[in-house]
Amino acid sequence: MNTLLRRPMCATCLRPAATCICHWVAPVASAVDILILQHPMEVANAKGSARLLHLCLPGSRIESGEQFGEAALRTMLGRNGRQPVLLYPDTPGDRSLGIAPPPQCDPGLAPENVQLVVLDATWRKSRKMLYLNPLLQALPRLPLRDTPPSHYLIRKAHAPDQLSTLEASCYALAQLEGDEHRYDRVIAAFDGFVAQQQALATRGGQPS
């Protein structure tokens, strides 16, 4: 049996106990409900930020899948009567996939009436998730404004304007709630997580 399969695992962050990230969790209550739809390839990715984001946002929900059943997805969207809004840019490439322009996002929505829907995947995989789930295509989209350069230094070929799931979500929540610094402690926790992953990689102990 592979010894990796016998390593003790943390039941909270779902990582090997030796590389647990729970000490970085910095809970911040959000008025916005958040639903994270995580591509299956990201679930076991040690460099992924979605699990830390989920643990930092009490009441958030994380679901894994690439294509969701319509009935199941309907039950996830609009929880407690909130308006689901997809954190995703409206790009010209969507038209080439046959995806119609999304409806406009109402800028007057109060945070407590919003559900932020986040796709945790690479850009290519997120576009496929959008293509495979028409209900997501029909959601208003939230574009990010004036975001700082990414701190996500552990992904290959990562450009400054390519934000991690955690960073993009925190900036979107701050934008929706009108509080620029509300999620600073979550971003600081992410910096610690990134530093931990860099140290593991330097020592040759980067978990798979």
Q: How far apart are CA 106 and CA 93, in angstroms?
A: 23
Is the pLDDT at 1 greater than 90, yes or no? no
Residue 160, classified by CB atoms within 10 Å of its CB into exposed (0-12), middle (13-18) or buried (19+), is: exposed
Asked whether residue 207 carries a pLDDT value surpassing 50, the answer given is: no
Q: Is residue 107 part of a domain?
A: yes
Distance, in Å, from the CA atom of 166 to the CA atom of 176, rounded to the nearest integer, reads 15
Asked if residue 85 belongs to a domain, the reply is yes
Note whether residue 180 is domain-resident: no
The answer to whether the pTM exceeds 0.85 is yes
Residue 52 covered by a domain: yes
- Please indicate, yes or no, if residue 194 is contained in any of the structural domains: no
Report the C-alpha gap between 178 and 158 in whole angstroms. Answer: 28
Mean of all residue pLDDT scores within the chain: 89
Let me know if residue 162 belongs to a domain.
no
How many domains, the chain? 1
Distance CA 130, CA 96 (A): 13
Q: What is the per-residue pLDDT across 145-160, written as a single tens digit (0 to 9) for each?
A: 888 888 887 766 555 5
95 pLDDT tier (thresholds 50, 70, 90): low
Which residues are CB-neighbours of 122 under 8 A, at least 6 positions away?
Answer: 39, 41
Residue pLDDT, tens place only, 131-143 = 999 999 999 999 8
DSSP string, the chain: --GGGGS-B-TTT-SBGGG--GGG------SSEEEEEE-GGGTT-TT--HHHHHHHSTT-EEEE-SS--HHHHHHHTTGGG-EEEEE----HHHHHTTPPPPPPP-TT--GGGEEEEEEES-HHHHHHHHHH-HHHHTS-B----SPPPP--TTSTT--TT---HHHHHHHHHHHHHT-TTTTHHHHHHHHHHHHHHHHHHHTT----
Could you list the residue range(s) of the whole structural domain that residue 68 is in?
A: 3-18+27-143
- For residue 100, tell me if it sits in a domain: yes
Q: Tally Cβ neighbours within 10 Å of residue 141.
A: 21
48 domain-assigned: yes
